[in-house]
Amino acid sequence: MSEQSTPERPVDVRVRVQGEPVDDFPETAPEAARGRVRRITVTGEEVLHRANKDVDASMFGSAELSALIDDMFLTMYAAEGVGLAGNQVGEDLRLFVYDCPDDDGVRHVGHVVNPVPAEREAGAALAVENEGCLSVPGPHAELARAEYAKVTGFDKDGAPVEIEGTGYFARCLQHETDHTYGRLYIDRLATRPRKKVLKQMNEMAADVFARREANAAKLREEGIGRDS
């Protein structure tokens, strides 16, 4: 006798903001409208290659932290990214922002301060997919990541957050949390593919930087963000 099949539950496709579903959300996160585009650091710069400082409790709820997160959202959009860490805008602080879909097409938007990754269970499923990085402008390379990831931390006001995801969004959570500990995705590659990526980056970077500048100008024309 065959096993009785059970219909799959429909996916709730509402946007998840800080892990919670909302019924309506704009094309760009509201933080971006208050931000300014910052320069994105490139592999080889010291701040990218060491564990960054935890955001001190005294910064929670501050205008300084809010402004940094605003800038990071706008910078991420200008660079056509789905996540961006503090050290990628030159800040020695452990936090990241994200606006990333998962494999079910659900959009996840938010930020995590002082992220801590959950331990990966033994035998957890892995997926090998192309991965890139805004601090390695241009190329991508295949890299194995866990299919599921969970990160705990805080929001900018100091409230605890727990963000989890699967598929592409899980990859984003792992990638951005890695940044806060001073690891780039290329650090997880074998020597030969890593050298290939760096060679491609040198060939592609100028075009990438030009596209980012054009995107930033377009956002300004649309009234998103501020000049200084």
| CA 103 to the chain's CA centroid | 16
pLDDT in tens, 181-207: 999 999 999 999 999 999 999 999 999
pLDDT in tens, 52-101: 999 999 999 999 999 999 999 999 999 999 999 999 999 999 999 999 99
176 is catalytic: yes
Average pLDDT, the chain: 95
Contact by Cβ (8 Å): 93, 80: no
Q: Is the pLDDT of residue 8 over 80?
A: no
pLDDT of residue 65: 98
Helix, strand, coil proportions of the chain in percent (round to 5)?
A: 35, 25, 40
Q: What is the mean pLDDT of residues 100-120?
A: 96
Cα(90)–Cα(85) distance, rounded to whole angstroms? 9
Q: For 136, how many CA atoms within 13 A lie in the half-sphere containing its CB?
A: 22
Pairing of strands 160-166, 148-154: antiparallel
pLDDT in tens, 114-125: 999 998 887 789
Residue 110 in 3-state DSSP?
strand
Pairing of strands 136-146, 160-166: unpaired
Q: Is the pLDDT of residue 131 over 70?
A: yes
| Catalytic-labelled residue, pool 176, 203, 221, 222 | 176
pLDDT in tens, 135-155: 999 999 999 999 999 999 999
